Amino acid sequence: MDEGIRQSSGAALARAEALLASVPLVDGHNDLPYLIRIDPTARGNVATYGLAARRPSGDTDIPRLRQGRVSAQIWAAYVPPDEPRPASYALQQIGLVQAMLRLHADVFLAALREADIGKAKRQGRIAGFIAIENGAAIENRIDTLPAFYRLGVRLMTLCHNHTTDWCDSATDAPRHNGLSEFGRRVITEMNRLGMLIDLAHVSDAVMHQVLDISRAPVVWSHSNARALCDHPRNVPDDVLARVADNGGIVMANFVPDFISQRSRDWTRSLKDQYGKTRVGLDLDSALSRREREAGRWPRGTLGEFCNHLDYLAGKVGHEHIGIGSDFFGGPQGEGLEDVTCFPNIFAELIHRGWSETNIKRLASGNFRRVFKAVERAAWS
């Protein structure tokens, strides 16, 4: 299978554009709110950051979302793993997302339910959902979850790159053999509320335990197949074997070290044993040194990303996959540089012989099914 970028034929790209005009496209993860927060000029001010015009840098703005045919976006209220006041930080990021949606209400629909995806598509807007990335935000209190839910949070990633007081991370030393007893209560409460459980970032043990516990389908909002790239953030085959029975969805992402084994191997000397950038490393300088030593960084390609989609479809079925780009302002694979890339992905899948039905499932049908099931499983 070609691992490079295939030049999209006019016919395939036109067909992809037509398909994306007819069905919503859901992207499961974008870190733009954090980029607005840390931008040295904007400092969290959405108006100052300027989303209405095409920005000269970065990967996400309104013109490029439109060009990329995005119809629904899950915006991450990311909480850094070492943040001493994670609940406060999460509240600030939730407020920032709400400001984005409010300031650009002509473009974004503040979305709370699965039905809002179709509603936004019909109105020519983009459904904007809020996700908390890092369950440390609940500060070890179950009653924080319904409070966040009432603020509009509809998905929570259980941890990030560090193990928390109740959940082992994929990229840190385990402390709980998966979930603590409190962590199991978190899963039950998320089911009760109708909040999507996100297993991106968690350890393999947590993945299996959540699949044992959850009464509703779960998601991996931005993870790939570990069989193709051995990063611990990717999903192993023994977990993939259980996804269909759960009814869940694996949403493949664009991060070079999660797409490409060549990238993973090339950057390994810059990472710790768990795959995180080594503490205290000046990454830009380290990357420049590495390129002088080993040649250009092989960041992976759109074609290699599609290999993950092919592999995942073969393992879990076309009914259980989606796309979660994980745009975060940093380097992505070749052909995946910004949010305009989505039509080219679908054109490549058309080249590979994917059916229209399966392409529509990937675009949003699978995520909408999962979201509906999570809503139905909720109880008061």
Q: What is the CATH number of domain 10-260+299-377?
A: 3.20.20.140
Whether 326 is a known active-site residue: answer yes
pLDDT-above-70 percentage for the chain? 98
Backbone angles phi, psi at 264, to 5 degrees: -55, -45
**Selected catalytic residue, list 326, 334, 338, 348:** 326
Q: How confident is the model at residue 268 (pLDDT cuts 50, 70, 90)?
A: very high
Whether 29 is a known active-site residue: answer yes
Q: Where are the domains of the chain?
A: 10-260+299-377
Its pTM stands at 0.96
**Selected catalytic residue, list 27, 114, 160, 320:** 160
Whether 189 is a known active-site residue: answer no
CA–CA gap between residue 206 and residue 168 (Å, rounded): 7
pLDDT of 328-349, one tens digit each? 998 899 999 999 999 999 999 9
Q: State mean pLDDT over 128-142.
A: 98
3-state helix/strand/coil string of the chain: CCCCCCCCCHHHHHHHHHHHHHCCCEEEEECHHHHHHHCCCCCCCHHHHCCCCCCCCCCCCHHHHHHCCCCEEEEEEECCCCCCCHHHHHHHHHHHHHHHHHHCCCCEEECCCCHHHHHHHHHCCEEEEEEEECHHHHCCCCCHHHHHHHCCEEEEECCCCCCCCCECECCCCCCCCCECHHHHHHHHHHHHHCCEEECCCECHHHHHHHHHHCCCCCEECCCCECCCCCCCCCECHHHHHHHHHHCCEEEECCCHHHHCHHHHHHCHHHECCCCCECCCCCHHHHHHHHHHHHCCCCCCEHHHHHHHHHHHHHHHCHHHEEECCCECCCCCCECCCCHHHHHHHHHHHHHCCCCHHHHHHHHHHHHHHHHHHHHHHCCC
pLDDT at 1: 40
Q: Which residues contact 274 (CB under 8 A, 6 or more apart)?
A: 161, 169, 170, 171, 172, 173, 232
pLDDT at 83: 98
Whether 172 is a known active-site residue: answer no
Look at residue 61 and tell me whether its pLDDT is greater than 60.
Answer: yes
**Selected catalytic residue, list 133, 198, 204, 319:** 133
- How would you classify the pairing of strands 26-30 and 72-78? parallel
Q: State mean pLDDT over 6-33.
A: 91
Whether 198 is a known active-site residue: answer no
Spatial contact of 361 and 181, defined as CB atoms under 8 Å apart: no
| Average per-residue pLDDT for the chain | 96
Whether 318 is a known active-site residue: answer no
**Selected catalytic residue, list 162, 176, 208, 222:** 222
**Selected catalytic residue, list 31, 116, 172, 338:** 31
**Selected catalytic residue, list 201, 208, 308, 351:** 201
Whether 310 is a known active-site residue: answer no
pLDDT of 191-234, one tens digit each? 999 999 999 999 999 999 999 999 999 999 999 999 999 999 99
pLDDT-above-90 percentage for the chain? 95
Look at residue 8 and tell me whether its pLDDT is greater than 60.
Answer: no
